[in-house]
Amino acid sequence: MKPLLSKTTKPFIIYVLIILAISIPVYYVVVDTIWKGELDEHNVTIAEKTAYEFNHLKLSDQELEKSIALWNQIQPGTDIEKMPANSLKKDQFFTVEKKKTFGSEPETERYRSLKKIIYIHHVPYLFTVETNIEESQETVAAISLITIFFFILIVIGLLFLNKKLSASIWKPFRNTLDSLKTFNLNNQTKIEFALTDITEFEELNQSLQTLIEHTVSVYKTQKEFTENASHELQTPLAILKNKLDNLLQTEDLTEKQYRIAEEMHRTLTRSARINKNLLLLAKIDNNQFDNSETIRFDTLLQQSMETVKEHFDQKNITVHEYIAFDIQVNGNSSLTEVLINNLILNAIRHTSYDGSISVKLTDAVFEVANSGTEQLNRDLLFKRFSKLSSDNSGSGLGLAIISEICKFHHWTIDYRFENQLHIFSVTI
């Protein structure tokens, strides 16, 4: 996980780096073009000034020829050559590369050249001048160093400003986040968001306030409906069950009537169990249980094993127990007892006659395994009212309740099929 600022700063730095990298050759081309333009103006000025000086010396033709010859010998980078009148040319600007003939080390240098027609004593002469251009490598190196320096300066400044400004700019958002972390839907504590002058954060706070108020309202309505529905159903279900019990004890019933009444009794018993389990799930979802107890897990497990001993005997199930002593956990004892009973009863229900069940408890895991023939569908395993077998005696909520109890206690429930055994393990 990365903070939001790092996600925006990194692309910005990369963008600046790309732009500055592109700017280096652009700088070079622009500077080189300007440089050549200035040198061209400089060379034109030299040519015009040279013609002007020769014209004002008032030399004879012979003296002029000697002066021009002397000029060509002693003036480096320039040449004055007499031109026929019929071969006049336009000014030519070009760049040439020459090896340096003087100096200790030979090297190639660039020169900006000009060929221009000048008039001395009304006679046309071809004036050639060459001016040295600074080495391109030096120009690129200087521009690169300056660009790198400013890039580093931008990055340091950006990081510094982000660090300084983020604390104040994002403070309203962090206050909102802290308020949301402390909000508990069960306690229905009212959240008061701090006022902010940032439009986006103020809109966020208003939207969250509206959403929370709506959620609390829906939660209250749903909670009341679930509790009322479950409680109101318990009484008529209990009355119907009692009436059916009395009916089944009547001697006047025919065999057909008895089977019908017995089937109704089983269905009603299952409906009562479903209602009870739904109420339990609703209470777990609403966090209506205390989880601050210190529980002797091994004691609850031993008690449950004694309670279901009769079921083991009815199906002639072989039981293997590996129960450690003095295993203590923090949580709710009632829910823990439900979890233990549901896991064991689920194992008994889905174990064939003369099968085997093993129960294991350590300081880290509670495990129940029962013999079986094929692996269960993991996608449907802990979903409510999912049917994993043809047995219709269950409510379809046992494993869902186990999963919710584990979530309540922050435990982990897992299922695996190994060596023809269905293994449910709870990491406590």
Q: What residue ranges do the domains of the chain occupy?
A: 4-156, 199-285, 293-427
Full DSSP string of 306-348: HHTHHHHHHTT-EEEEEE-SS-EEEE-HHHHHHHHHHHHHHHH
- Cβ atoms of 376 and 422 closer than 8 Å: yes
Q: What is the pTM of this model?
A: 0.51
Q: What is the mean pLDDT of residues 227-249?
A: 78
Q: Reduced to 3 states, what is the DSSP secondary structure of residue 378?
A: coil
Q: In the CATH scheme, what architecture does the domain 293-427 have?
A: 2-Layer Sandwich (3.30)
pLDDT > 70? residue 307? yes
**Under CATH, to which class is 199-285 assigned?**
mainly alpha
- pLDDT class for 6, splitting at 50, 70, 90? low
pLDDT at residue 2, rounded to an integer = 63
- pLDDT class for 292, splitting at 50, 70, 90? confident
Q: Is 135 left (phi over 0), alpha (psi -120 to 50) or beta?
A: beta
Relative to beta strand 123-133, strand 78-82 is: antiparallel
pLDDT at residue 260, rounded to an integer = 86
Amino acid letter, residue 335: L
- pLDDT class for 239, splitting at 50, 70, 90? confident
d(CA 177, CA 342): 39
d(CA 72, CA 78): 7
Question: What tokens does 243 get?
Answer: 């009436």
Q: What is the mean pLDDT of residues 39-67?
A: 89
Planar angle of CA 293, 299, 302, nearest 5 degrees: 140
Relative to beta strand 78-82, strand 356-361 is: unpaired
pLDDT > 90? residue 111? no
- Cβ atoms of 311 and 353 closer than 8 Å: no
Question: What tokens does 312 get?
Answer: 């083991």
Taking CA atoms, 362 is separated from 113, 315, 354, 426, 428, in Å, by 95, 27, 27, 11, 9
d(CA 337, CA 345): 12
Relative to beta strand 92-99, strand 293-296 is: unpaired
Q: What is the mean pLDDT of residues 164-179?
A: 81
Q: Reduced to 3 states, what is the DSSP secondary structure of residue 179?
A: helix
